[in-house]
Amino acid sequence: MQTLVPLYKDIQTRFRAAGVENPGLEARILVKAALGVSDADLITGSAQTYPQADLDRLEAMVARRLAGEPPSRILGSREFWGRDFVLSPDTLDPRADTETLIEAALECFKGQEPPKRILDIGTGTGCIIITLLAEWPGAAGIATDLAIGAVDTARLNAANNGVADRIQVVHTRWADGIDDRFDLIVSNPPYIPSKDIESLDENVRRFDPILALDGGNDGLDAYRMILEQGKSRLKPGGVMLWEIGINQLKDITRLVENIGATRGRVWADLGGIPRVVEISYGDK
């Protein structure tokens, strides 16, 4: 049986030959997950051998990565804002860009009373609202999703992250049937124009659900619906925060202003791209 370091280096070599972007990092992630080893083991070069079942599991993971599947999908989870979130075929794989929405929410309520009631429209894994509930122990909220698999996944993630008693995850379209009013409404809706879906990165196109990607002809269908529904569901003085796509800020601003709402602050992601916008109705 191969010992750890030769095995690890062999996987790196295979990943490099296949054009994997970060062969060393991804080899390390899979080896650690399959064999239960630490970074220290990989550095010190443990001479331990491993059961064939563990090696077979590792090889299956490697084969999936070589076939184009992202590591997070192989492992079935993704870290977001320092917490682990289970993925399912019905959920978008959370991106680091979406952490900008968390930063925006915390900034919006900095120095004032945190929101008591939060609505997350199109929750997916639940990573946004669950993170906010964890950051604000006095808050509670509702999360919605049209995909029943996403609803189940968000409920599991809420339990895993200790906020299940403060969140209701509802199977519905957008905010249909939600009659409460909220201090904060958040959403990372589908915003890719339909015509652009086929040109997305293969990892996204093949493994993220189309329901979480396709925003209609101009990519703005979800925003129109959320903007319409938000007016009756946002408390006076409340705020909505949306994640938006590349080059959408101008169109989003026009959409918001056309119905008499206000587009407030904008937050850029780590790449400098406008990623989150603040929306309100009337005076904040």
123 annotated as a binding-site residue: yes
Task: Could you list the beta-strand ranges (E) of the chain.
Answer: 77-80, 83-86, 117-121, 140-145, 167-171, 182-187, 234-243, 261-268, 274-281
Which of 217-220's residues contact partners 24+ apart within 8 Å by CB, and which partners?
217/193, 218/193, 218/251, 219/191, 219/192, 219/193, 219/245, 219/248, 220/191, 220/248, 220/251, 220/252, 220/255
94 annotated as a binding-site residue: no
Contacts of 188 (CB under 8 A, 6+ apart): 92, 98, 101, 122, 124, 128, 242, 243
126 annotated as a binding-site residue: yes
56 annotated as a binding-site residue: no
190 annotated as a binding-site residue: yes
Alpha helices in 112-201 (DSSP H): 127-135, 148-160
Backbone angles phi, psi at 248, to 5 degrees: -105, -5
189 annotated as a binding-site residue: yes
Task: Work out the burial of residue 112: count CB atoms within 10 Å of its CB; fewer than 13 is exposed, 13-18 middle, 19 or more buried.
Answer: exposed
209 annotated as a binding-site residue: no
Strand partners, 262: 280
Total residues belonging to the chain: 284
219 annotated as a binding-site residue: no
Contact between 78 and 87 (Cβ < 8 Å): yes
Strand partners, 194: none
DSSP string, 43-66: HHT------HHHHHHHHHHHHHHH
100 annotated as a binding-site residue: no
237 annotated as a binding-site residue: no
125 annotated as a binding-site residue: yes
**Binding site, residues?**
122-126, 145, 174, 188-191
**Binding site for S-adenosyl-L-methionine, residues?**
122-126, 145, 174, 188
**Binding site for substrate, residues?**
188-191
